Structure 1
Amino acid sequence: MEYSYPLDLDWTPDEMVAVVDFLTAIEQSYESKIEINELKKKYDLFKQVCPGKAQENNIYKDFKKVSGYDGYPVIKKMREELGTQTQLISMAK
């Protein structure tokens, strides 16, 4: 995809990598599938960078504008499926 990820220039390079990795996982869930444990790890690292709900929602909104992918339903599905037999998440239609 050819678009810019919503990044904060105040973040460290490691924080930027964590956010981009998480957003890439969101993309992957829409384009094919992703292992639920891998998504959870990337989400946990993302939450270390963006611990607040408002900031998280702003990133989802900004990312959806540029990519068309909404992170909220992916994370909602991940939370619902954690602890079940589900190993993969796919938002692909």
Structure 2
Amino acid sequence: MEYSYPLSTDWTTQEMVDVVHFFEAVEAAYEKGIKRETFMAKYRRFKEVVPSQAEEKTIFRQFEQVSGYIGYKAVKMAKESADGQIIRL
């Protein structure tokens, strides 16, 4: 990808890595599909780093602007899917 992920300088290196892994899972949901369990594990870790709903919305909006992928849509689909399913947008 030819864009930068929205990251905070307040995060540790590991937190930045975990957030990037979540955004890679969103990309996978759009591009090739990803297992629901894998996606939700990455989202749960993302929420540990970004617990605030307002901050999540801001980061999702920034990510959408640079990538065209909608994080909220991927999370919503994953939450509505059954275990074992492949999430594909």
Settle same-fold status: TM greater than 0.5. yes
Q: Is residue 2:8 matched to residue 1:3?
A: no
Task: Normalising by structure 2, report the TM-score.
Answer: 0.96
Structure 2 residues without counterparts, runs of 5 or longer: none
Partner of 1:37: 37
Confirm or deny: 8 A CA contact 2:37 2:84 kept in the other structure: no
- The one-letter amino acid paired with 1:16 is M
Partner of 1:89: 87
Paired positions, count: 89
Partner of 2:60: 60
Distance between the aligned counterparts of 1:8 and 1:85, measured in 2?
A: 32
Confirm or deny: 8 A CA contact 2:29 2:74 kept in the other structure: yes
What is the CA RMSD across the aligned residues, in angstroms?
A: 1.0
How many percent identity over aligned positions?
Answer: 46
Distance between the aligned counterparts of 1:62 and 1:85, measured in 2?
A: 29
Q: CA deviation at 1:87?
A: 1.6
Partner of 1:24: 24
- The one-letter amino acid paired with 1:76 is K
Structure 1 residues without counterparts, runs of 5 or longer: none
Task: Normalising by structure 1, report the TM-score.
Answer: 0.92
Q: CA deviation at 1:33?
A: 0.2
